[in-house]
Structure 1
């Protein structure tokens, strides 16, 4: 079933499709999927490539054009016909809530096993074949949708021509050091840049005490050169331009706003209480 309508700046078509609750049992109970097709006005009849959007969460419905801000959507509509899928259990698809879940906890857990990323990917494949046949489409996943995008690579790589994940798709340490992370999330600039930069630092061994520059002359390390609770010396060198000093551990941290901010470095000892006496009168 399809319903077409207009929104300011968008031409929309709502799609509904019944899919199996358990894809391993196609003849069993079914649930209903909802997806909204969005295209730029005047391009409804153009042969545009498709872009499937998978929302994050899990448990969030897809954005509604015109009702929720989505800056990426306007850019995507220049080149794509976008499909906003309400994943099973969310939005206008068959919900998964206390009204639909079985009363017994064991039965509810068994029911919810059918709402994982693998089932979402199989739903998307049924929807793709229903709308465009054997043509592949591109997939954009946000947060949890990024994990669904990676699952797409495992279960149905032939169904997606391009995969992108702006957030939520992080490679494991094993994948980072082995160099497989850029291939897993090849279209994610953030993940690819991170996975390429980490092996250089993750594989280098830490400096031993015997080779440490501070250990050769018997001086304490820089982080221990100031006793806990001491106040910064007035003769200390001023921080360079564009950086500020943390009021807890005295580490210099760059700040765009030019204000001092607390350092996130964890310390084995609790931070010293900040002196509230004006600097001109303080004797500490």
Structure 2
């Protein structure tokens, strides 16, 4: 597997500017036109261009880094049999999670591939009954920033073990990049998604928009109340009121989740007097800097 970082002469934590600068310098030096069309330099230039295309793209770089970690882990764990006996050491060829970070309520999928073991334990979740496979675990009530997850392959006859750990980050503490924020803002800018996000609690909502939407609903209800003189219009007004209450609770649920709390606290808005205090707090609190499980911060 090609090491793109080595090809460009940079470290694995290099910034986009460092990647761009390294590619610019190498392409000038290695370009076939500068070296008389030498086949060797043509091959080198292709590798440099390939490395730049992958590392300069955020999603492609993330996928490459994950694949590179799997490759290195497999190489490290490919140990030969013990010389003193015919028994093999337990091996862990791979152990990965489908997400690098998680939010409250997320279901994480872990995939592993082991050999020469009769017990496989995934700490802190428990034992699994296969040497290779996948398992899903829901994350609830985890408040710390990092979640270490370790797989242990055990050979009970020789009491030998192999271990491998991955560390996942709690999305509540994660600082999202500007490109991540921009891509999400574009996603929710689509008209067809605006309607969907308006009638369900998924998505983000700034406190300014929360105030505008809520006051608009109240104003419309006030106007409709003026036309409740007879029984038919009064019953129609009751139906509209129920619909608007649902919209209000949806908007409130988004704001509560933006502040890092569980959306079930929306039920507080059904308690007289206390709901007025809660509404004021949601207008006051700035919940747009963190990240809830349904989206990135909004402006």
Tell me the TM-score normalised to structure 1 length.
Answer: 0.25
Q: 1 or 2 for the larger relative contact order (CA 8 Å, sep ≥6)?
A: 2
Tell me the TM-score normalised to structure 2 length.
Answer: 0.24
